[in-house]
Structure 1
Amino acid sequence: MSSPFEQIMTWFSELPPGHKQDAAFLVGALMPGIQIDTELEAIADSFVSGVRSLNHDSFKEYGLTLALKTLIEHQLINQRRSKTAGKEIKSTLERLAKQHSSETFKTQAEQAEFRAAQWVVSCKKWDDMAAKHLAADNLVDYYMRSQLV
């Protein structure tokens, strides 16, 4: 069985490319101890290598897993699991497009509901994985057991 940390990294690796960029920026910007490359093409790989560089032993992995779980749930999952989030984002982007006469905001607004629907699926995958591998008792059992071996 792979560790809870590896379960998180697998979930991240299976995200659609745009979601990886969102997650890498929103989580990586707040993650203590890493610097991420904010160029869109490099941000996901930069995030993964930065996070992996912090994983020195099972004690550090336990703390890293807790930090990732908390940041991912706070910055992504809790914000994007509902279908109404896409409508709110679309409305905001449409307003910004109009205010700034911005084609970029207009294009993002047109894609907002589709991206939001994708996030609902990604959040469901997170919830399923988290229920199985990241519940508090499971984390303690896994990491305390690994210290005894």
Structure 2
Amino acid sequence: MSNPAAKVNLERFNAFVDERKKQGDWEDYTLPNRLDLNKKMIARECEFDRKRITENSKIRAKYEDVKADLIAKGILIEDIRTPSEQHSAKATTGKSSVDKRMLKKSQETNAALEEQLYKTTKELEETKTKLKRLTAIEDYLLATGRL
């Protein structure tokens, strides 16, 4: 390794792996489907970019060894899907995340509109009450001849 930063990154990753082995908390770093580890989370812990895991050949090799070990221990599940099935699953996941974001935005807009409707309705009720009172005063003034 001629790049000193790559060497530092490898050392950080090795230290991370050693610490996880001591702690035994690999479940915290698995994806929800348990098919792989959360590379973004691992990279954040190691204080380097996520791409270092896949682009640095020594880190990638160590990562694959760790992944194989976790599959053997039953912490991860081996992905037996074909590459095309994996790709379509990723596309579906991406689409569903967009749908979730759109749904969340719609829910936030809906909540804001409901709040505005509530305030406007309350204001309208107060205005109707005030109008009733002023109409009664006007009727009284007309009846007594003061208006």
* TM-score bracket relative to the smaller structure: under 0.3
**So what's the TM-score if we normalise by structure 2?**
0.26
Q: Which has the higher contact order (CA 8 A, sep 6+)?
A: 1
Select the structure of larger CA radius of gyration: 2
